[in-house]
Amino acid sequence: MASIIRDYDQLASQILDKLGGESNIENVTRCATRLRVVTKHRPENVKESISSLTGVITVVDKGGQLQIVIGTNVDKVYDAFVKLVNLDTLPTGGSEQSILNRIIASMSAVFAPFVYILAAAGLIQGGLILVKWVFPYLEQTDTFKIFNFISWAPFVFLPVFIAITASKFFRTNTFIAVACCVALVSPDWAAMAALIKAGGSVTFFGIPLSQTVYTSSVLPPLFLVWILSYLERFLNRCLNDVVKPVLCPMLCLLILVPAALVIIGPLTSGTAFFVASSYNWLAETMPWLAGTLVGGLWQVLVIFGVHWGFAPVFLANFEHFGRDSFQAYITFAVIGQIASVLAFFFFTKNKELKKVSFSAFLTGIFGITEPIIYGINLRFKKPFLYGCCAGIVGGFIASFFTPYYFAYAGLVGPLTIVNGYNINFPTSIIGIAIGSIVSFIIPFILMLFFGTGEKKDALMLAKEEEDKQQELADDKKKIIYLNAPIIGEIKPLSEVPDEVFANKLMGEGIAIEPKDNHVYAPCSGKILTLFNESKHAIGIISDDGVEILIHVGLDTVKITNPPAFEYHVKLEQSVNQGDLLMTFDMDRIRQANCPLITPIIIINSLDYNLIQATDKTDAKLGDRLLTIYQ
């Protein structure tokens, strides 16, 4: 937990200095507990240096943002921070990073919003492969063909998805970006490219165009939108306000689309193809080396977030060759980590860690390994190393069977193994199956002989906890009770899909999955914190001095138009236990794709000896939720 701070101006100045100064800031926002900053480049050891500041709980690097977790005082730090940087005049030019590094750094922010769409489409493709395998005659039916084009549609129009997310990241007009990228995937251009490929000629003011097709491409639309961000700002400065709304998009289209066809597209597509071809050369000449490198190092790349930069390699392989071995080898890296966290679940004696590990295992089945890595494997180190070793061995063995994926997998994992089946490459699915089995078994063997990585024996930890509770029972100064503020299903913080809450970095507490849209006072006290813009959370200080944060849903700070929350109290208003504090629109929160699970956090947890959660699974009004021992 962070130390108590009083000088918010000083903390804001220290954070800005650690981030590299005003010239390195692209955007800054805040939510209920975090200062969210987008930078042009990341100074060395920035997470560690900011985390060490008094008043900062931790720093999370997620979605292209540095999320600086401060707590309920974040509003004061944010107000001080924006005084130091003018949001309207933040410079957006020249970064010290190379273009390639900037692309890799921005890939997470660009891909993260729609990666699950690609994953869903990939699973449909995998299902169709399975259907063809079992019922080959169905491939010729109209129904199969309809499902097939549905599964490929997100990839065909991938530049449009990139236009939307990249325009937000680069702070440029989304509609202009979409208009430019739609032109790249126009059927008319596809026909012209086919004519060029057949030996014909298409020129632009005498300049011959290449046969490059931009469906399923990544780098061309990404570069186009990046350049658009500069061009649009230049035109907005130069054009008269009367004609700007029409002339700006017109000039952007007239300049950027031809530029993409003549220069940007061929160069960036050629770069992606060159990188893919270089990898393919390694995979074909020394497949054992490609398998061991990808199988062993892929999850290390995931830790640092640079794995997004390989998306052009996968897609270039599928576009040009209809298959890709890179994703096949990723399968063993993912399964190795999944097996490692499952082995941890069976070997650990800690009940809380069992819950965390099994929950992470379930997400891993769908190819999502971040909860596995950050929740258990990297935390205890040995499980992560076991998973990497399993990926190495699995990739090495499978490499002798020439494994490929024949359908793109948005999130590689056990469910996408079927993507390795193709009647023309019969050994592919065999190699992937054998490699997957080996990758799954190895972590269990390693953990059996070398342990889970937990520093203390689980029985010892249980005995220490029992002794601590007995000591508190014998000599406790005061007991404070907090009642349930929401009707719903009670869950431990470890099940909250947010590492800050799940790892109790904000403090001890509990969570509720709401079944009702009313929030009531869990105790008598005074309203300590309100969030007037989003109204998604509320802070209370009890008459006994307990500071409580009720955070309705996750990432709900973004729901402002239309709003989903309404306060029924005012700042510093005194309330009694059971008073109505706020209401919220459950359907609106679901429409925004935000989890409804609501953490109830004791912000000043360090002031108390023990905070015990109820063992009930359902919360009703008046039920005791937390017991706090001073």
Catalytic-residue membership of 31: yes
Dihedrals φ, ψ of 59, to 5°? -130, 130
Q: How far is CA 500 from CA 69, 497, 503, 601, 602, in A?
A: 8, 9, 6, 11, 14
Closest C-alpha to 529, from 50, 30, 51: 30
Distance CA 156, CA 144 (A): 18
**Cα gap 215→191, rounded to integer Å:** 13
- Does an H or E element contain 145, and which? helix 142-156
Catalytic choice (388, 551, 568, 594): 551
Paired with 66 in beta bridges are 37, 61
Q: What is the DSSP letter of 409?
A: -
Give which of 345, 357, 338 is closest to 495, Cα–Cα.
357
Peptide bond into 43 cis (omega under 30): no
**How far, in Å, are 62, 336, 338, 351, 614 from residue 373 at the CA level?**
14, 11, 9, 19, 29
Question: Is there a contact between 512 and 527 (Cβ–Cβ < 8 Å)?
Answer: no
| Strand arrangement of the beta sheet that strand 518-520 belongs to | 518-520, 580-584, 565-567
Q: How far is CA 344 from the centre of its chain?
A: 24
The residue from 31, 181, 388, 594 that is catalytic is: 31
Q: CA-CA distances (angstroms) from residue 100 to 105, 113, 223?
A: 9, 21, 10
Q: Residue 433's CB: how many other CB atoms inside 10 A?
A: 16
The count of C-alpha atoms lying within 13 angstroms of the C-alpha of 231, restricted to the half-sphere facing its C-beta, is 23
Q: How far apart are CA 419 and CA 415, in angstroms?
A: 9
- CA distance linking residue 205 with residue 258, whole number of Å: 10
Measured between alpha carbons, how far is 543 from 270 in angstroms, rounded to an integer? 67
Active site residues: 31, 551
